[in-house]
Structure 1
Amino acid sequence: MKKKLSTLLAVIIFVITILTGCTQTKELVNVKEDVADSSNSIKITDMVGRNVVLEGPIERVVAIGSALRLYTYVNGTEKLVGVEKGQQSSKTGRPYILANPELEELPLVGEGFPADPDPELLIDVNADVIIAGDILDVDQIEELQKKIGVPIVVISCGSSAVFDQDMYKALTIIGKVVGKEDRSKELIEYMEGCKTELTNLTKDIPEDEKPSVYIGALSYKGVHGIESTSGNSPALNVIGAKNVADEVGKPGSVMIDREQLIKWDPDIIVIDENGMNIVKEDYQKNPDYYNALSAVKNGEVYGQLPYVSYYNNIETAMADIYFLGKTLYPDEFKDIDVIEKADEIYTFMLGKPLYNIMAEKYGGYLNINLEKGF
């Protein structure tokens, strides 16, 4: 009898031990799962100061507004699951779309251009995160986030066409979201390297040896003619150019009086090719106006690729600066082939050489004879 009781007691103790061990094992598994979940969390302070926690890994992304351009620099079209209609057409000549024709195959999440996200379409694509660039205010972002139940990270491409610290911050945030922080760092280092090269090539040129320059027909909320220019232009500042439009005392987009250009009479005129047709048509109507300009008389009129289309196309703006540098300071830039440099920039930023495609659409880097129409 005692032997049976001992055996029964041993069995009970064994069972209790097994059950306890299973419970402890299950608890340990739960702890590990919790730790794993915690380690996959991505904490972001976005560019309007919102603290956003993402549950990683992030596999499904939508980038709207100016964010899509920056996203393609960092991650191409990987992980993208939706796109705005206005960011699909290659007819726009935006390099990030030309380099990524597969954008046309993605589901739509809104009209876009300007950004106009559709909550129902955003819900349909089941994104892990929305990266929103330069659209809506904070209250609207919060309202949209509540409607769709998907975290939104807000970024900005900055106010400058090139070498903008806010743009660098946006690239860093995108890299963190999609696990491409090394690529974001490479992009920033590459752009800063170009900035340093441009600065070093031009820093020792005496002011009295610099030709004066005017860039006309710049796009700003649409295309414009010769009167549209930029004061305190980042593109010209980095090469220390003598920009006659700085005299206006206003940074950014400026619409000048036509007669002011005659008074300035710059040595060199550069026409942004978005507005080239407007300038050519205007020349046919007013040849005496243009022929009074020294740059026209001396054959110093040039075309540059347009970099403004639904915000700034940073890679084209960078390529334009090398062209401007070579146009203004041919001796200092004698070792630089601007077309090769443009394709180097396009390839590094977007993975493809795009100069020939852009030149076919707009004209490319060339000397212009307004009288002959090219």
Structure 2
Amino acid sequence: MSESKKILVPLLIALIIVSAFVSGCVDESSTSQSIQPQEEAVTEAETVTETTTEDVTEKETITVTDSLGRVVEVPKNPESVICSGAGGTRYLTYLQAQDKIVALDSTEDKVSVGKAYAIANSYFEGYPTFGQSGSENLEVIVSLDPQPEVIFTMYTTNGYDPDELQDKTGIPVIALKEGDMVQNREDMYQILRIMGEVMGKEDRAEEVISFMDATIADLNERTEDVSDAQKITCYAGGVGSAGSYDLMSTDSYYPPLYFINAKNVAYDPAAPKVAKVSKESILIWAPEVIFIELRPSQFEGENYAPYQLENDVSLNQLSAVQNEKVYGMLPYKFYSHNPDTALVDSYYTGTILYPDEFEDIVLEDKAAEIYGFLVCEGDVEKGMSVYETMLTISSTPVFTSLEFD
């Protein structure tokens, strides 16, 4: 072998070894780079998991004192609630929080016409029911989907105690004391404020209270200076109480007469709010004007005020009947009391008893304003529709003089 060939062979071998070494380094580098994004992806996934875990926290709660003085911890601004007993659904509608209701007291389903809040929220008709106040179906309540975060109950001495209802369902229970429009108006306002606090509707609660106060003040201011000598006597019959709607069922503090300082022959400062009077008392009082709360057809019959005025010989001789001074009204007492309708009725009684003081009032416009503000989220046009539907409650005409043969 020549000398030059002896030198060339080792050089070729060396080049091959170097090339193999460099190639191996490149492959290792490439493999390392391809793994690196996977390692980063794992790190990011772990970060998302940690973030998600941090985001899942218990819902903020507040403590609320209910009408019975019970201090209850409830979720702040709950997304789902139920109302047991007469009035709860009505007041939540006033607060514009009815969209949080997920089921209804079964009594709400019986008659919608006559309750402005039910007319304004016709979708209530498709809601599940959970029994009546005092006989709630606990199995249904705990199986509702979505599950109620709060139960509002209109407190009565019958049925479940609020603490018992809360313990059995595991759901916070807020007990509410109903009150009324006249003697216990502050209790009614307390309901709005308590519900408003729970639902995050405190400002709306004060707006509703101010609206009611201003409306009642307007009614009073129109009539407070009218002397007793200028007033004509009147009486309100058929005022609903425990399923009784006859002429003798009345209210000493009947709001549509009380708010306008009317000369109510049944007024007695010491009398219960709603009571039965005797037929003889009505005959002796001989009111010049009679107002009657009207009802749907299923309530009509021999114990219904219009029937009695037409068919009872002695009642038929009352001057109010003979002079066609009997007027049909929307029911203030209908599944408990209806403050919105009480105000509408008050303007109507005002136009009958004090035509000069109420000459500027167009009843349908005033009703649209009241229903619009309280149950239609300020929509006066919708308030007019609610009013027109309310007028269909009875086969007996509403807000007009009734004729009896």
Category of TM-score, reference length = shorter chain: 0.7 to 0.9
Q: Which stretches in structure 1 are left out of the alignment for 5+ residues?
A: 1-28
CA contact (8 A) 1:85 1:108 kept: yes
CA contact (8 A) 2:89 2:98 kept: no
- Aligned with 1:317 (options 339, 342, 345): 342
Partner of 1:4: none
Partner of 1:106: 127
Deviation for aligned residue 1:266 = 1.1
Partner of 2:118: 97
Deviation for aligned residue 1:260 = 1.6
Partner of 2:284: 263
Give the structure-1-normalised TM-score: 0.83
Instruction: Give the match's secondary structure for 1:331.
Output: coil
Instruction: Give the match's secondary structure for 2:391.
Output: helix
Partner of 2:311: 285
Q: 1:53 to 1:137 in 2, by over 3 A?
A: farther
- Aligned with 2:239 (options 218, 230, 252): 218
Match runs of 1:302-341 below 5 Å? 302-341=327-366
CA contact (8 A) 1:161 1:313 kept: no
- Aligned with 1:48 (options 59, 68, 77): 68
Match runs of 1:21-170 below 5 Å? 40-65=60-85, 66-91=87-112, 93-110=114-131, 112=132, 114-125=133-144, 126-136=147-157, 140-160=161-181, 164-170=185-191
Partner of 2:38: none
Give, as a single letter, the amino acid of the residue that structure 1 aligns with 2:319: S
Q: Distance in 2 between matches of 1:320 and 1:123?
A: 40
CA contact (8 A) 1:162 1:234 kept: no
Partner of 2:48: none
Q: 1:364 to 1:281 in 2, by over 3 A?
A: closer
Q: 1:263 to 1:247 in 2, by over 3 A?
A: farther
Give, as a single letter, the amino acid of the residue that structure 1 aligns with 2:143: D
Q: Distance in 2 between matches of 1:196 and 1:248?
A: 21
Q: 1:291 to 1:78 in 2, by over 3 A?
A: closer
Partner of 2:9: none
Deviation for aligned residue 1:329 = 0.5
Q: Give me the identity figure in percent.
A: 31
Instruction: Give the match's secondary structure for 2:220.
Output: helix
Q: Distance in 2 between matches of 1:361 and 1:138?
A: 31
Q: Distance in 2 between matches of 1:138 and 1:216?
A: 31
Give, as a single letter, the amino acid of the residue that structure 1 aligns with 2:401: N
Give the structure-2-normalised TM-score: 0.77
CA contact (8 A) 1:305 1:316 kept: yes
Q: Distance in 2 between matches of 1:162 and 1:227?
A: 21
Deviation for aligned residue 1:216 = 1.1
Confirm whether residue 358 of structure 1 aligns to residue 390 of structure 2. Answer: yes
Give, as a single letter, the amino acid of the residue that structure 2 aligns with 1:154: A
Q: 1:312 to 1:247 in 2, by over 3 A?
A: closer
Instruction: Give the match's secondary structure for 1:367.
Output: coil
Deviation for aligned residue 1:265 = 0.9
Deviation for aligned residue 1:261 = 1.3
Which is greater in Rg? 2
Deviation for aligned residue 1:256 = 1.7
State the aligned residue count. 336
Deviation for aligned residue 1:165 = 1.1
Partner of 1:186: 207
Confirm whether residue 205 of structure 1 aligns to residue 233 of structure 2. Answer: no
CA contact (8 A) 1:128 1:151 kept: yes
Q: Distance in 2 between matches of 1:77 and 1:305?
A: 23
CA contact (8 A) 2:288 2:325 kept: yes
Give, as a single letter, the amino acid of the residue that structure 2 aligns with 1:250: A
Q: Distance in 1 between matches of 2:114 and 2:400?
A: 18
Instruction: Give the match's secondary structure for 2:191.
Output: helix
Deviation for aligned residue 1:280 = 3.5
Q: 1:285 to 1:295 in 2, by over 3 A?
A: closer
Deviation for aligned residue 1:248 = 8.8
Q: Distance in 1 between matches of 2:343 and 2:91?
A: 15
- Choose 75-84 or 308-317, whichever is displaced more: 75-84
Partner of 1:370: 404
Confirm whether residue 348 of structure 1 aligns to residue 373 of structure 2. Answer: yes
CA contact (8 A) 1:161 1:312 kept: no
CA contact (8 A) 2:61 2:76 kept: yes
Q: Distance in 2 between matches of 1:337 and 1:289?
A: 35
Q: Which stretches in structure 2 are left out of the alignment for 5+ residues?
A: 1-50, 377-381
Instruction: Give the match's secondary structure for 2:236.
Output: strand
Instruction: Give the match's secondary structure for 2:306.
Output: helix
CA contact (8 A) 1:76 1:350 kept: no
Give, as a single letter, the amino acid of the residue that structure 1 aligns with 2:348: F
C-alpha RMSD of matched pairs (Å): 2.5
Give, as a single letter, the amino acid of the residue that structure 1 aligns with 2:352: T
Q: 1:283 to 1:205 in 2, by over 3 A?
A: closer
Deviation for aligned residue 1:58 = 1.4
Partner of 2:12: none
Q: 1:45 to 1:93 in 2, by over 3 A?
A: same
